[in-house]
Amino acid sequence: GENVEQHPSTLSVQEGDSAVIKCTYSDSASNYFPWYKQELGKRPQLIIDIRSNVGEKKDQRIAVTLNKTAKHFSLHITETQPEDSAVYFCAAIDGDSNYQLIWGAGTKLIIKP
Amino acid sequence: GAVVSQHPSRVICKSGTSVKIECRSLDFQATTMFWYRQFPKQSLMLMATSNEGSKATYEQGVEKDKFLINHASLTLSTLTVTSAHPEDSSFYICSARSGGVNNSPLHFGNGTRLTVT
């Protein structure tokens, strides 16, 4: 089955700087990689996702890159703002297990004013 | 966009009682829904996969007799925590895929904060 590792567990950046969160996965057959943002006490919300047929996807200040050879994908947030502070989870789909999502452990992103 | 509605958002119950949590897909049909449990400062832990019209698939270590799942229609799945104990206190959250393919986005309900006294 799939295994997803996420780093770092906590990331503190100055407002306006960029933040990068990295994830690795183990199953080369995985073909879908979403990123979720979860604010304290609230549900995870999809912020961006990428499928294995592309290497990069961008949506305003957020981008995700995928390296299938190395089996890792990263979330990039540019020009960070205080409202970006949250916990971010990466995930990969597990084709062996009813296509459930296998989650990373999460990264707490802190934006310092 | 796709909306998943989950109720109640918060519930406090006494030990030994049962609590039912509902998860509804409001604008799409969901043949599969996922139930998660989340402890403070931790990632989502999949409890079970709910399949419309058939038995749920439980993850290892999750007691199926304690966490009863019913997925009677394409828009409703319920999780019943039976004979609740304080250690069952947690944040429970459901999710469903809006697309018909397995690599489509997962949409989450708002979650249910369960406190067992």
Give the closest of B42, B49, B113 to A100, CB-based: B49
Residue A101, pLDDT above cutoff 90: no
Cβ–Cβ < 8 Å for B94, B79: yes
Q: What is the mean pLDDT of residues B22-46?
A: 90
Band the pLDDT of A1: cuts 50, 70, 90.
Answer: confident
Q: What is the mean pLDDT of residues B104-108?
A: 83
Q: Lowest-pLDDT range, B28-37, B67-76, B78-87, B102-111?
A: B102-111
Q: Each residue of B40-52: pLDDT tens digit?
A: 888 899 999 988 8
Band the pLDDT of B99: cuts 50, 70, 90.
Answer: low
Q: Lowest-pLDDT range, A17-26, A95-104, B22-31?
A: A95-104
Nearest CA in chain A to B39: A41
Longest CA–CA span in chain A (Å) reads 44
Q: Tell me whether strands A32-38 and B19-25 are parallel, antiparallel or unpaired.
A: unpaired
Query: Taking all residues of chain B, what is their mean pLDDT, rounded to a whole number?
Result: 90
CA distance A32 to chain B (A): 6
Give the closest of B32, B44, B57 to A103, CB-based: B44
- Choose between B51 and A78: higher pLDDT: A78
The answer to whether B108 contacts A34, with C-beta atoms less than 8 Å apart, is: no
Q: What is the mean pLDDT of residues A13-37?
A: 95
Cβ–Cβ < 8 Å for A100, B49: yes
Interacting residues of A28 by C-beta distance below 8 A, sequence separation 6+ = A68, A71
